[in-house]
Structure 1
Amino acid sequence: MFDLIPFEHRNAGLFDFFNHFDDDFFNSVENNFSPCRTDIRDEGSKYVLEAELPGFQKEEIAINVENDCLTLAAQHKDENEQKDKAGNYIRRERRMSGMSRSFDVSGIDTAKISASFENGILTMDLPKKEEAKQLPKQIPIQ
């Protein structure tokens, strides 16, 4: 594993070049929008990943691991409707927001990953795989 480096997902279209025409010449990663801010700490035997997910509930968050790729996704659906006495809509608004991030977890023991969610912060413990120690091998001389 080359540490926990998030994969970049960008939707680049034919006219995407012009969308960034006015950006700074020395545009840095900090200037780009990130779907959710994450902090990753190396605590020796494990990594601790903290992701900011303000406005989401625990039930709206999904964490999946497949082929050494951990995907964190959250989706929020909000509906607001006002009706008159006859039940006809006066106003009806719908809003849906979501985000997704993926991380390389090739050096993580995925069976032991644990997660908790409190006050808009998702905290995940990602235990490192234990390296198999090779025992000394006696080679017979012929």
Structure 2
Amino acid sequence: MRTMRQMVDAMDRVFEDTFAFPGTSTGDIRTPWDVKEDEAGLKMRFDMPGLSKEEVKVFVEDDVLVIRSEQREENGESKEGGEGWRRSGSRVYEMRVALPEECVKEKVKAEFKNGVLIVDVPKINVERKVTEVEVQ
């Protein structure tokens, strides 16, 4: 099972490769996602412009966070290609992220506002016991 740090590093590598262009650095490009980690857990941001809250589904399937959306539209007839053609479209979005074992999968929360999905993944609250060892 992955730790949170390994998951964040893996996502960074995947998206750095995806958004790297010759002659530019990824620091110049704002990616459509971001992941931040602190002592409380992970906070993930996904840009999903043009979608509504009702079109976005977020769920945890075993140890995987799944973000899915499907938008269908039918706009009537199109002038392109002559009269009588119906114009319709569909956009499908799906992302699967393996969750680390130190998170509380039952308490994952998601909020969708203005085309941005924020997902909070809380960490398990592990109390660490420190015992001082006498050096002789």
Q: Which residue of 2 aligns with 1:30?
A: 19
Task: Pick from 46, 51, 65 the counterpart of residue 51 of structure 1.
Answer: 46
Deviations 1:87-119, CA, capped at 9 Å, x for gaps? xx8341110011111111132101111111111
- Residue aligning to 1:2: 3
Structure 2's unaligned 5+ residue stretches are 22-30, 78-82, 132-136
Q: Which runs of 5+ in 1 are unaligned?
A: 7-26, 83-88, 137-142
SS of residue in 2 equivalent to 1:59: helix
Aligned position for 2:65: 70
**Is 2:107 aligned against 1:112?**
yes
Aligned mate of 2:35, from 30, 37, 40: 40
Equivalent residue letter for 2:111: S
Equivalent pairs counted in the alignment come to 109
Rounded Cα–Cα distance in structure 2 between residues aligned with 1:46 and 1:61: 22
3-state SS of the aligned residue for 2:57? strand
Greater helix share, structure number? 2
Counterpart amino acid of 1:119?
N
Provide the alpha-carbon RMSD of the alignment.
3.0
Larger Rg computed on CA atoms:
1
Report the TM-score, using the length of structure 1 for normalisation.
Answer: 0.64
TM-score by length of 2: 0.67
Q: Is the aligned partner of 1:103 residue 2:97?
A: yes
Misfit runs of 4+, over 6 Å? none
